[in-house]
């Protein structure tokens, strides 16, 4: 039983073996497909297509629920896992499925947080074919910006559409509003009218102001740090950058070539 749990935990995190790659890439694909379904459902599509999309989304939610249960079951410290950022995001993604068909507005809002599940894949260079740490940081910045805009666009759309349907007709209208707001262009042709919509707009701006400069600062510090270093891979620990005059790895002490 212990071995089964270890294997389950390994494959849910692994991206080196074929099984690990298949599992994690499939999960990432389902996140994107689920997000695309919700965007499509904001448009006026035939009822047959809408029913098919709902059925596909239900299956995706079931897969997410099974994944969450497996991660919880295989975790060594279950309490620590439940309150970890990734687990909270996962739980928010499957909460509508766990609640059932109860028509509660805040439950419908939670579905937009599914895109945040992709955060767990950003730091893995394999998924994005990134070779350097600078590339990982830059990719994280781009994804953070996209995630903020996407999630808040979905939240604002679901809040504003019922009371301001002539302005926020589809998801694209909310996405357009979020982009011009985050870029401080602010044409004023699309604006929220509800108090909750305006509150979400303020939170979107504050989230962007808080997260983007912080990550850009990490990238700048990284660039300054590597400016005085050379690229020499350590044969012991794999550390890539070292000082120009370094003869030994500062991490493990292995003699550099």
Same domain, 15 and 116: yes
In a domain, 47, yes or no: yes
- As beta bridge partners, residue 243 has 229
The whole domain housing 89 covers: 1-126
In the chain, the largest separation of any two C-alpha atoms, in whole Å, equals 68
pLDDT digits (tens, 9 = 90+) for 162-207: 898 889 999 999 999 999 988 878 777 888 999 999 999 999 989 8
Cα–Cα distance, 102 to 185 (Å, whole number): 39
In a domain, 132, yes or no: yes
Most confidently modeled of 51-55, 106-110, 117-121? 51-55
In a domain, 245, yes or no: no
Cα–Cα distance, 157 to 177 (Å, whole number): 10
Mean pLDDT of 69-73: 90
Cα–Cα distance, 74 to 233 (Å, whole number): 35
Q: Which CATH number does the domain housing residue 183 bear?
A: 1.10.287.70
- As beta bridge partners, residue 199 has none
Same domain, 12 and 48: yes
Asked if pLDDT for residue 255 goes beyond 80, the answer is no
In a domain, 232, yes or no: no
Which DSSP state fits 21?
H
Cα dihedral value 157, 161, 167, 171, nearest 10: 40
In a domain, 25, yes or no: yes
- Residue 198 has what pLDDT? 92
Same domain, 162 and 90: no
Residue partners of 46: CB distance under 8 A and separation at least 6: none
Same domain, 48 and 104: yes
Whether the CA torsion 68, 69, 73, 79 is positive or negative: it is positive
In a domain, 154, yes or no: yes
In a domain, 147, yes or no: yes
What total of structural domains would you count in the chain? 2
Domain boundary (126, 146, 171) is at: 126
Same domain, 93 and 21: yes
Question: What does pTM read for this prediction?
Answer: 0.72
Same domain, 1 and 122: yes
In a domain, 177, yes or no: yes
234 in helix, strand or coil? coil
């Amino acid at each position: 039983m212990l071995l089964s749990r270890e294997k389950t935990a390994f494959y849910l995190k692994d991206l080196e073996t074929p099984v690990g790659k298949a599992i994690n890439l499939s999960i990432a694909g389902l996140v994107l497909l689920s997000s695309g379904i919700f965007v499509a459902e904001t448009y006026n599509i035939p009822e047959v297509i809408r029913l098919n999309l709902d059925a596909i989304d239900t299956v995706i939610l079931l897969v997410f629920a099974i994944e969450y249960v497996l991660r919880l079951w295989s975790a060594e410290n279950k309490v620590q896992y439940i309150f970890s950022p990734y687990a909270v995001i996962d739980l928010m993604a499957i909460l509508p499925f766990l609640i059932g068909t109860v028509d509660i507005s805040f439950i419908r809002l939670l579905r937009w947080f599914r895109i945040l599940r992709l955060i767990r894949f950003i730091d893995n260079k394999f998924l994005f074919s990134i070779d350097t740490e600078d590339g990982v940081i830059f990719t994280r910045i781009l994804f953070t910006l996209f995630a903020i805009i996407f999630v808040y666009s979905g939240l604002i759309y679901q809040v504003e559409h019922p009371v301001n349907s002539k302005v926020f007709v589809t998801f694209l209208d909310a996405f357009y509003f979020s982009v011009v707001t985050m870029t401080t262009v602010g044409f004023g042709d699309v604006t929220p009218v509800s108090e909750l919509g305006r509150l979400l707009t303020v939170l979107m701006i504050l989230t962007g102001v808080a997260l983007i400069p912080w990550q850009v600062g990490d990238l700048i510090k990284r660039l300054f740090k590597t400016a005085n270093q050379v690229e020499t891979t350590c044969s012991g620990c794999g550390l890539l950058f070292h000082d120009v005059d370094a003869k030994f790895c500062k991490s493990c002490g292995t003699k550099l070539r």
